[in-house]
Amino acid sequence: MGGGLDRLPPKMHRLEFATYDGSEDPLNWLNHCEQFFRGQRWPASDRTWIASYHLRGLAQTWYYALEQDEGMPSWERFVELCRQCFGPPVRGTRLALLGRLPFQSMVQEFADRFQVVSCHARGVSAKQKADLFVGGLPEYIRVDVEMRDPQDI
C-alpha cells in the first residue's frame, strides 16, 4: 500500500477532566489528572492551572487561599498539599497502617480496604504488600495462602 494510507494518525478522543470538591480522598482524582496530562501531553508548567480550574466547593476555596499565600504552586507541590489537606490523616507510617488493618468479615472487603491504604504507601514493594495482606487474613485462610508464597496481591 503506497501513499501512506496505512499510517493514518491515531484518532484522538475527547477526554473529560473530572472535577474535585474535597469531599473524599484526592488520590483517584489526582491519578485521573496524571492520566489526562499524559494522554494530552500537557506541559508540566500548565498542570496546576488546569487542575485548579476543575476544583469545586471546599477544594476551590482551599486552592484560592493557597494561591493567595504562595502563588501558583508547582504541580508536585500542588499534589503534595492536596494529599495533606484532603487525604486520609497520617497516623504513623502507611506501612504500620497496612500491618494493623483489621479483617472484618470477607476477603473482598478486606482486599478493597487494603488497596485504598496501600495506594498511599509509597516505596512498599509488591512482595511487602503481599506479605502484609496475607498477614492480615484470619489464620484459617492465611495458612492456605502462605503455602502458595504469593509475590504480589
Cβ neighbours of 23 (radius 10 Å): 11
Residues 6+ apart with CB under 8 A from 150: 130, 134
Q: Check: CB of residue 78 under 8 Å from CB of residue 48.
A: yes
> C-alpha distances in angstroms, 125 versus 16, 33, 83, 90, 153?
32, 24, 21, 20, 11
Q: Model confidence over 9-68: pLDDT tens digits? A: 555 567 788 999 999 989 899 999 999 998 888 888 999 999 999 999 999 999 999 999
70-126 residue pLDDT tens:
999 999 999 989 988 888 765 556 667 777 778 888 888 887 877 777 776 666 777
Q: Look at residue 60 in the predicted model and tell me its pLDDT.
A: 95
Buried b (16+ CB within 10 A) or exposed e, 91-102: eeebbebbeebe
DSSP 73: P
**Model confidence pTM above 0.85:** no
